[in-house]
Structure formats: structure tokens, C-alpha cells
């Protein structure tokens, strides 16, 4: 390698140390693979889904998750991007005492027709609640093609109307809402929000995983 100094990032008890190494820059630690798998599953992605997002083969991803191989920093960066994180976030280099700050406007975003979503919670392992902001243009609805599937059994959702007059439809029953209203419902039932008004609507939604209903 022409005498060049290369580096290995090694996890020990969730702390990162950097040591000089020849032959390539590797991210070494079974805990990295465990974290990647937990993050992938938290986002509802299969190995092939993540492979399509990153360009890293599914067999390689599987080996990384099982701790059988160490990814290069370049591969780790591609995996982080596929998980909608920075490399520092994936390796927890910018976390302070397990606190993760999502700055205003920096949440993960997606858009379908007139429905815009910003995820305010990062996809952390073991995440049991998700917070998001939904913005609906006039005539727009949630729950269409491209939106996530129904939540797991026992999940509940609380939504706070920040602006506008959206309508919540749960299991075929419509509930009209106004700015400042909040509503809690079983999120494993068929549901969607629709905006039948001439002005945009905005909601803050919190989905919490819960016990299965008997």
C-alpha cells in the first residue's frame, strides 16, 4: 500500500476508538452489524430492499449483520445512506449520552401527491413510538399507494391538528376535526386522513406500538 497509513474504527462497549492499520479502512465490530439489522427491521426493510437502496449485495449485508465480515468505510457510508442516516449517526459518533437531535426541517421526508410527511424520530433500534408531521393539500388523503402499511396489532395513534380541518376515517367511520383537536385511535384498523377543505391541513402524529388486543 506504499506505506500509507489506513484506519480501522473499532467498537468496544458502544464506544468508538480509532487505530492505525494497513490494508484498508474497515468498520470492525459485531455491534455495528447488530445495529444495522435493528435499524433495517425498524424501517420495515428486507435485506433485498436495503441492497436496492445501497448497491451493497444482500449476501454482503447479511454477513455484515451477522458480524462475519467488516465493511469498508465506503460500504458503511452506503449502508448509512440506505438507512437514511449519516455515517456518523450509524456509528453513533454524534450521539451524546444516547440523545439524538433531529433539527428542524432535517427529518426524513417523503411525498405522495398532496401528502407530505416528515419523520421526526430517527430509526433507532427498539423504537416503540414514531412521531411525524403530515401536511395535506386540499383534496389530499393519507394511506394511498406509497404510504406505509397498517401498523402492527395493538398499535395506537394520537394525532393533533396543527392547522386546517381534516377528516379522520377509521374503519369506515368519518370524524371531522378542527385546529387544536386531538384524536387517539387503534392504528391497526383501516384508517386515513383526508382534507376536503379548500385550505391545507397539518397534523402531528404519534404512533405507539402496544399490546395485542384480546
Taking the model in full, what pTM does it have? 0.57
- The answer on pLDDT for 12 being more than 50 is no
- All three cell numbers of 194, joined, read 383526508
Residue labelled with grid coordinates 397534523: 203
pLDDT tens for residues 73-100? 888 889 988 988 888 778 776 555 467 7
Residue 44 has pLDDT above 70, yes or no: yes
Class (C level, CATH) for 6-90: mainly alpha
What CATH superfamily classification does 108-208 receive?
A: Jelly Rolls (2.60.120.10)
For residue 169, is pLDDT > 90? Answer: yes
The residue extents of the domains of the chain are 6-90, 108-208
* Residues 135, 137, 142, 147, CA torsion sign: negative
What strands, in cross-sheet order, belong to the sheet with 108-112? 108-112, 115-119, 129-136, 201-208, 156-163, 182-186
| pLDDT score of 24 | 46
Q: Rounded CA gap, 125 and 118, in Å?
A: 19
Share of the chain above pLDDT 70, in %: 75
- Phi, psi angle pair for 129, to nearest 5°: -145, 145
Amino acid at each position: 500500500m506504499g506505506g500509507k497509513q489506513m484506519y480501522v474504527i473499532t467498537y468496544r462497549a458502544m464506544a468508538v476508538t480509532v487505530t492505525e492499520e494497513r490494508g484498508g479502512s474497515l468498520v470492525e465490530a459485531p455491534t455495528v452489524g447488530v445495529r444495522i439489522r435493528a435499524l433495517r427491521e425498524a424501517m420495515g426493510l428486507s435485506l433485498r430492499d436495503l441492497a436496492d437502496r445501497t448497491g451493497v449485495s444482500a449476501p454482503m449485508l447479511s454477513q455484515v449483520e451477522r458480524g462475519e465480515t467488516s465493511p469498508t468505510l465506503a460500504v458503511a457510508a452506503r449502508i448509512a445512506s440506505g438507512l437514511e442516516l449519516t455515517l456518523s449517526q450509524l456509528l453513533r459518533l454524534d450521539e451524546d449520552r444516547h440523545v439524538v437531535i433531529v433539527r428542524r426541517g432535517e427529518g426524513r421526508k417523503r411525498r405522495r401527491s398532496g401528502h407530505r410527511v416528515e419523520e421526526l424520530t430517527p430509526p433507532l433500534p427498539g423504537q416503540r413510538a414514531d412521531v411525524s408531521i403530515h401536511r395535506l393539500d386540499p383534496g389530499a388523503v393519507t394511506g394511498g399507494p406509497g404510504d406505509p402499511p397498517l401498523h402492527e396489532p395493538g398499535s395506537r395513534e394520537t394525532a393533533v391538528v396543527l392547522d386546517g380541518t381534516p377528516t379522520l376515517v377509521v374503519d369506515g367511520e368519518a370524524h371531522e376535526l378542527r385546529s387544536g383537536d386531538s384524536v387517539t385511535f387503534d392504528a391497526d384498523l383501516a384508517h386515513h386522513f383526508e382534507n376536503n377543505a379548500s385550505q391545507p391541513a397539518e397534523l402531528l402524529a404519534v404512533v405507539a406500538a402496544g399490546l395485542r388486543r384480546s
